[in-house]
C-alpha cells in the first residue's frame, strides 16, 4: 500500500460516453479538484508525463482500459483501481453503482497491493543474419499472440521453450498468456484458468490444423521462441492493441517481464473465485 496518496489520476475509455461522466463525478463529488487529473486511455504519450507525479490511478471503462493504463503505471510502480463499465471486468475492482461510495477507502490508506506478472516480447527480423534488427521489448499484462494476417490462411510456427523445440504447427495462431490473461483470449480457445497472482505462463495454439493443440503451462522463467516459417505473413499482437507485421523468417522471443502490474485491492482475497462463474456468465445452483 502506498504510504500516502496525494495525487489521483483518472484514465477513462473515450469510447464509452458514460466513462467521462463518471470520471468527472469522482473528481467533483469526492473533492479531488486540487489533487487529480483526467485523461483518455488512448493518449499514452501524455499519460506517461502525468503518471510520473501520481500516487494512484483509477480507470473507468473495463479490462481494455486497464491494459492500456498499465503501459504507463507499471514502469513507475503506480497502483491502479479499476471501475468496471464493460462486460467481464476480471481486472477491475469496483462496479459503477458503488464506486463513489467505496473509492475513498482506497486512497485513504485501506487495501493491499497485488502484483501481477507481465510478459515481454521482442521481434528479431530475418533480414540480416549477421546483424539482425530487433524491435522491442513490448510489455504486456494479458498476452502475446502470433496470428495469421489479413489473408485467411494458416501460418507455420516452430515453437521452442528454453531452446528446446516443442512443436512445429500449422495453425491460425498461438498465444502466450499470463495468469491475468488466462481469462481472456486463451480461455476462449480452451486454455486453463490460473490464479491471477500465479507467475506461470500458458502456451496455447489456436485452431491447430497440424501439430500440438493442447495447452502447456510453463514456469515463470521459461523463454519461448516463436519462429514464423512457411510463406505466409503474420501479425504479432500484445494485449490486443499493439500490433506489428511479421514476415516469414522472423522470430519472436518472449519471456517474463521485469515489470509488474500493481492493483490496489480491498475486496477479500477470494473475490476472484467468488465472482468467477458470474463473470463468465454462469450461475451457481441455488443462486
Query: Which sequence positions are flagged as catalytic?
Result: 63
Question: Sign of the CA dihedral 11, 239, 117, 63?
Answer: positive
The x, y and z cell numbers of residue 150, run together, are 489479413
- Helical segments of 108-239, H only: 185-188
Cβ-proximal residues to 129 (8 Å cutoff; 6+ apart), any chain: none
DSSP assignment letter at 191: P
Element (H, E) at 24: helix 17-29
Element (H, E) at 142: none
3-class secondary structure, 286: coil
Q: Which of 71, 63, 228 is nearest to 145 (CA)?
A: 228
Instruction: Spell 14-34 as b/e; 16+ CB within 10 A means b.
Output: eebeebbebbeebbeeeebee
Element (H, E) at 28: helix 17-29
| DSSP per-residue string spanning 41-77 | TT-HHHHHHHHTT-SEEEEEE-HHHHHHHHHHHGGGT
How far apart are alpha carbons 218 and 224 in whole angstroms?
9
3-class secondary structure, 108: coil
DSSP assignment letter at 35: G
Amino acid at each position: 500500500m502506498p504510504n500516502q496518496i496525494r495525487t489521483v489520476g483518472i484514465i477513462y475509455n473515450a469510447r464509452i460516453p458514460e466513462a467521462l461522466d463518471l470520471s468527472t463525478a469522482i473528481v467533483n463529488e469526492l473533492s479531488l479538484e486540487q489533487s487529480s487529473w483526467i485523461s483518455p486511455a488512448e493518449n499514452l504519450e501524455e499519460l506517461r508525463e502525468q503518471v510520473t507525479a501520481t500516487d494512484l490511478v483509477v480507470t473507468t471503462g473495463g479490462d481494455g482500459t486497464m491494459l492500456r493504463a498499465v503501459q504507463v503505471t507499471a514502469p513507475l510502480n503506480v497502483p491502479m483501481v479499476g471501475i468496471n463499465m464493460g462486460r467481464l471486468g476480471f481486472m477491475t475492482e469496483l462496479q459503477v453503482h458503488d464506486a463513489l461510495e467505496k473509492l475513498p477507502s482506497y486512497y485513504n490508506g485501506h487495501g493491499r497491493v497485488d502484483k501481477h506478472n507481465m510478459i515481454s516480447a521482442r521481434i528479431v527480423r530475418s533480414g540480416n543474419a549477421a546483424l539482425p534488427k530487433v524491435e522491442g521489448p513490448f510489455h504486456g499484462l494479458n498476452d502475446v499472440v502470433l496470428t495469421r494476417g489479413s489473408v485467411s490462411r494458416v501460418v507455420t510456427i516452430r515453437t521452442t521453450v528454453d531452446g528446446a523445440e516443442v512443436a512445429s504447427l500449422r495453425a491460425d495462431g498461438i498465444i502466450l498468456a499470463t495468469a491475468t490473461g488466462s481469462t481472456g483470449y486463451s480461455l476462449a480457445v480452451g486454455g486453463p484458468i490460473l490464479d491471477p497472482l500465479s507467475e506461470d505462463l500458458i502456451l496455447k495454439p489456436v485452431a491447430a490444423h497440424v501439430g500440438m493443440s493442447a495447452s502447456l503451462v510453463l514456469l515463470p522463467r521459461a523463454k519461448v521462441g516463436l519462429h514464423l516459417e512457411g510463406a505466409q505473413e503474420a501479425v504479432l499482437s500484445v494485449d490486443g492493441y499493439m500490433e506489428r507485421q511479421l514476415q516469414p523468417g522472423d522470430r519472436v522471443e518472449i519471456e517474463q517481464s521485469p515489470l509488474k502490474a500493481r492493483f490496489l485491492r480491498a475486496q477479500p482475497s477470494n473475490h476472484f473465485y467468488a465472482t468467477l462463474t458470474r463473470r463468465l456468465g454462469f450461475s451457481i445452483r441455488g443462486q
